[in-house]
Amino acid sequence: MKKLTFLALISFILVSAGTLFAQDNMKARQAAVSADSKVMVVTPEKFQAYATENVGKEVEIQGMVVHVCRHGGKKLFIIGEDPEIRVKITASEIVSVFEPDLEGSTIYVKGIIEPIEEEAVPEEEKKAEDADHTNYYHVPQYSISCLAFRTIEE
Amino acid sequence: MKFQWRKWFRVVHRDFGYLFFGLTLVYSVSGIALNHLDDWNPNYIIVRKEIALENPGRIYPGITKAEVRAILEEIGENKGYKNHYFPQSDQLKIFLKGGSALINIETGNGLLERVDRRPFFHEMNYLHYNPQVSWTWISDVFAGALIILAITGLFLVRGAKGITGRGAWMTALGIIIPLVFLLIFFY
């Protein structure tokens, strides 16, 4: 009985700690989104040009989600007025995954500009129906590591 | 009184084994699933269906939401419209709740894609990818517990089947396998 109580206590502590951390994290994320900071707001069309001089800096951007990675939800792409220009948003330690439900929604993103990195097309994304992956998503480009995001329009 | 370290190793090994049973399953099941991404998508069940639209000439760049909804009704997807756009001049992409449709506006042919979360595996993979900073702490604790389990496990049994006998050979084999792999593929 004592041992069972001991195990139950440890489990309770772990779950409580997890819940507390999660709540803190959520609050921090919400604060980050709503904070009235002096972060540069760019449009998707102007992002690549802006990024060349501002790697590592914070940026805010808004656009419609046109693709969410199906294999792990680690990245998504947004567009503004011009559908040919897509901006890559990557998951981070704070926002670790994106759900495909976001596709078609307009979102606001706050994040850090990441440098251009060569990216190989994974085997599982070389199928004909994934042509966009080769033509858009794995093309070397500046991207944004997402610190926070919120849906503006479903 | 002499410290009974073997007894404590047993207690720790036993209770950690119970305590981390669930996490071991989470990481091992999702680990196997993620090892085989080329063969399947453990996160989502994606169903693609070819569709053919009659009279595609009615699709034009400024098409309204009501007109898109009417098209969806024709292909049996009258619920769940979210948004639409033209990724290329000859393509209309319609976003639906739980999927999308991509239609060639010249031919009327297209592809309807439905995306559903794969039960169980989606949740396991979500945890495997460290979804929150707090979960990283939990997974660190788990990793530490595995080290303790491994060390205490070496000293559970005495005698010929213990670490001074059969256990030594088994342990050595477990170390040699990754070393051989490193020698062949890494160095």
Q: Each residue of B12-65: pLDDT tens digit?
A: 999 999 999 999 999 999 999 988 888 888 889 999 999 998 888 889 888 999
Residue B82 to residue A100, Cβ atoms within 8 A: no
Judgement on whether residues A59 and A73 belong to the same structural domain of the protein: yes
Among B64, B87, B117, the domain boundary falls at B117
Residue B85 to residue A64, Cβ atoms within 8 A: yes
Judgement on whether residues A59 and A32 belong to the same structural domain of the protein: no
**Predicted pLDDT of residue B170:** 96
In a domain, B125, yes or no: no
Domain enclosing residue B60, as ranges: 44-117
Task: Map residue A44 onto helix, strand or coil.
Answer: helix
In a domain, B123, yes or no: no
Write out chain B residues lying below 8 Å of A97, CB-based. 126, 129, 131
Q: Which of A10, A104, A124 sits opposite B83 (nearest CB)?
A: A104
Judgement on whether residues B99 and B145 belong to the same structural domain of the protein: no
Domain enclosing residue A27, as ranges: 1-36
The Cα of B117 is separated from the nearest Cα of chain A by a number of Å equal to 9
B100 Cβ under 8 Å from any chain A Cβ: yes
pTM > 0.80: yes or no: no
Q: Which of B41, B83, B87 sits opposite A71 (nearest CB)?
A: B41
Residue that has been written with the tokens 């009327």 in this structure: B108
Judgement on whether residues A45 and A20 belong to the same structural domain of the protein: no
Judgement on whether residues A25 and A48 belong to the same structural domain of the protein: no
Judgement on whether residues B173 and B140 belong to the same structural domain of the protein: yes
> Which of B36, B100, B130, B132 has the most A C-beta neighbours within 10 Å, making it the best mutation to test the interface with A?
B132
B130 Cβ under 8 Å from any chain A Cβ: yes
Task: Map residue A130 onto helix, strand or coil.
Answer: helix
Residues with Cβ within 8 Å of B63's Cβ and at least 6 positions away in sequence, in order, are: B84, B92
Chain B residue whose CA is closest to A97: B131
Looking at the DSSP bridge assignments, the partners of residue B163 are none
For residue B106 the two structure tokens come to 């010249």
Q: How many domains does chain A have?
A: 2
Alpha-helix residue ranges (DSSP H) falling in chain B: 5-19, 21-35, 65-74, 121-128, 133-154, 166-185
**Predicted pLDDT of residue A20:** 45
Residues with Cβ within 8 Å of A67's Cβ and at least 6 positions away in sequence, in order, are: A76, A77, A86, A103, A132, A136, A137
If you average pLDDT over every residue of chain A, what do you get?
Answer: 78
Write out chain A residues lying below 8 Å of B130, CB-based. 93, 96
In a domain, B127, yes or no: no
Judgement on whether residues A25 and A81 belong to the same structural domain of the protein: no
Judgement on whether residues A7 and A75 belong to the same structural domain of the protein: no
pLDDT in tens, B68-124: 999 999 888 877 899 999 998 899 999 999 899 999 999 999 999 999 999 999 999
**Predicted pLDDT of residue A121:** 67
Interface predicted TM-score (ipTM): 0.71
Cα–Cα distance for residue pair B39/B27, rounded to 1 Å: 19
Q: In sequence order, what DSSP letters do the residues of A79-116 get, joined into one string?
A: E-S-TT-EEEEE--SSS----GGGTT-EEEEEEEEE--
Judgement on whether residues A64 and A24 belong to the same structural domain of the protein: no
For residue A14 the two structure tokens come to 């772990």
